[in-house]
Amino acid sequence: MSSAEGMAPLDQAQRREGSAAATPETPVIRLEQLRKSFGDNLVLDGIDLSVAAGEVLVIIGPSGSGKSTLLRCINLLEPADSGRIFLEGEEITRKGADVSAVRQRVGMVFQQFNLFPQLKAIDNLTLAARRIKKMPRAEAEQRALELLRRVGLEEKAGQHPHQLSGGQQQRVAIARALMMEPHVMLFDEVTSALDPELVGEVLIVMRGLARDLGMTMLVVTHEMQFAREVGDRLIFMDGGRIVEQGQPSEVLDRPNEERTRRFLRRTLQLADSLEELTITEQGETV
Ligand SMILES: Nc1ncnc2c1ncn2[C@@H]1O[C@H](COP(=O)(O)OP(=O)(O)OP(=O)(O)O)[C@@H](O)[C@H]1O
Ligand SMILES: [Mg+2]
């Protein structure tokens, strides 16, 4: 399904574009003592983190541990209270940072696909490129078709979101995020709302971005197999902190911290026990 035709891997010059200070060794993302509270709820408690060019960082942790807030801060959807965020060496938390330019370089895909229901798949892709980047229609459509081909959906270009399966809609959402030629992609539980049989096709597309394009990615997910196979590094968050990090299979198979062990045990137990559950037509679980 994933055809690399017409899509060259991002070269270092492209990665550095728009950031004179960056060298190949400059982390794509660097967080320095990032803090964020909602009222008296401390959600990010001094996060330090670097993500290298081409690295796939997987983020796991219990509900409420701050995973989504972390991604939203990096994309400037949430203002941090203190600490600094650097994108390719440039501080984006400074006063006067160009938010629109940052969002073009940081693509984000959510659990809910957020496609425009009234627009065809191809128009979902071209809208922002034409409005924000002022890309001519023909050029935008050509690029959109290339990206739809990359996610295996070229033949669905003329369909509206309601005519597509959840997995197909999510693949359109990924292609849409790629339209702006982001230097890093943030994925927030993008397979969590999908029927189990549709999860694989989305994960395959994400694996293709990592392997074929060398995309730098931060991936919040419960898909441990994906974490093992595609992740370069895994961090476990709890209570707004990074509790533990390392090579994915190391952390998953031999966690050092009790909190990580407890979380993984619960996650695996849940997976086992859900296998055994069935829901009757009356909606009861037995
Ligand atoms: N806009 C908001 N206003 C107030 N509180 C918020 C807001 N967004 C998140 N929170 C709170 O911040 C904490 C962390 O939320 P966050 O969504 O980052 O967690 P998460 O790790 O992504 O959880 P989940 O696995 O359930 O998605 C939670 O206690 C949540 O209720
Ligand atoms: Mg979340």
User: Do the Cβ atoms of 236 and 244 come closer than 8 Å?
Assistant: yes
Q: Which two tokens stand for residue 91?
A: 């501080």
Identify which of 44, 59, 69, 266 to mutate to test ligand 1's pocket (most ligand atoms within 8 A of the CB). 69
**Biggest distance spanned by C-alpha atoms of the chain:** 62
The predicted structure's pLDDT at residue 15: 44
Neighbour order of strands in the sheet with 41-51: 41-51, 29-38, 82-87, 90-91
- For the CA of 39, the nearest ligand: 1
Query: How many other CB atoms sit within 10 Å of the CB of residue 219?
Result: 26
The predicted structure's pLDDT at residue 4: 41
**Coil, helix or strand for 228?**
helix
The count of residues in the chain is 286
The predicted structure's pLDDT at residue 112: 92
Query: Which residues have a beta carbon within 5 Å of ligand 2, which is an ion?
Result: 68
Q: Whose CA is nearest to atom 24 of ligand 1?
A: 63
Reading the chain (286 residues) residue by residue, the pLDDT tens digits are: 444 444 444 444 444 444 455 777 899 999 999 999 999 999 999 999 999 999 999 999 999 999 999 999 999 999 999 999 999 999 999 999 999 999 999 999 999 989 999 999 999 999 999 998 899 999 999 999 999 999 999 999 999 999 999 999 999 999 999 999 999 999 999 999 999 999 999 999 999 999 999 999 999 999 999 999 999 999 999 999 999 999 999 999 999 999 999 999 988 777 677 666 665 555 555 4
Q: Whose CA is nearest to atom 30 of ligand 1?
A: 64
Identify which of 37, 63, 236, 263 to mutate to test ligand 1's pocket (most ligand atoms within 8 A of the CB). 63
The DSSP code for 85 is E
The DSSP code for 285 is B
CA of 130 to the centre of ligand 2 (A): 30
Predicted structure pTM score: 0.89
**HSE-up of residue 17 (Cα within 13 Å, Cβ side):** 12
The predicted structure's pLDDT at residue 21: 58
The predicted structure's pLDDT at residue 75: 95
The predicted structure's pLDDT at residue 276: 65
**Coil, helix or strand for 237?**
strand
* Burial state string for 113-144 with b = 16 or more CB within 10 A and e = fewer than 16: bebeeeebbbbbbbbbbbeeeebeeeebbebb
- For the CA of 188, the nearest ligand: 2
The secondary structure element, H or E, covering residue 134 is none
The predicted structure's pLDDT at residue 25: 87
CB-based contacts of 101: which residues, under 8 Å, 6+ apart? 18
Strand pairing class (184-188; 216-220): parallel
List the alpha helices (DSSP H) in 85-195.
99-105, 121-131, 137-150, 166-178
- At 19, the amino acid letter reads S
**Coil, helix or strand for 100?**
helix
